[in-house]
């Protein structure tokens, strides 16, 4: 491998349940680790205020969803850099 390889914009779709989101992000981070990716981007940090959107790993009131704990665990137990994009919060 030459250079860094990142997985980007992982949670750009609206998940129907917290459990589905958790499973999806757990699988994605595990695949990233298994394939020697060096970075992983969480695109939506928090659900978008005023919408029925559930993309974030935090709810509108900043309570942590199960997916948050997966991302936190992976960031602390692997050599993958986790980047959380805060830009969508202000759109």
- Which pTM value belongs to this model? 0.74
Q: Quickly tell me which residue has 């202000």 as its tokens.
A: 90
Where in the chain are the domains?
A: 6-78
Q: How many C-beta atoms lie closer than 10 Å to residue 3's C-beta?
A: 5
Q: Quickly tell me which residue has 């992000």 as its tokens.
A: 25
Residue 87 tokens, joined: 């830009």
Calculate the average pLDDT of the chain: 76
Residue 39's beta-bridge partner residues?
A: 6, 81
Angle made by CA atoms 53, 51, 28, in degrees to the nearest 5: 20
Of residues 9 and 49, the one with the higher pLDDT is 49
Residue 57, classed as helix, strand or coil, is coil
Q: What is the mean pLDDT of residues 7-33?
A: 78
């Amino acid at each position: 491998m030459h250079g860094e390889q990142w997985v980007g914009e992982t949670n750009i779709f609206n998940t129907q349940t917290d459990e589905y989101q958790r499973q999806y992000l757990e699988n994605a981070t595990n695949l990233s680790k298994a394939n020697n990716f060096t970075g992983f981007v969480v695109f939506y940090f928090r659900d978008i205020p005023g919408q029925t959107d559930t993309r974030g790993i935090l709810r509108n009131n900043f309570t942590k969803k199960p997916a948050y704990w997966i991302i936190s665990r992976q960031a602390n137990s692997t050599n993958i850099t986790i980047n959380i994009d805060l830009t969508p919060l202000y759109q």
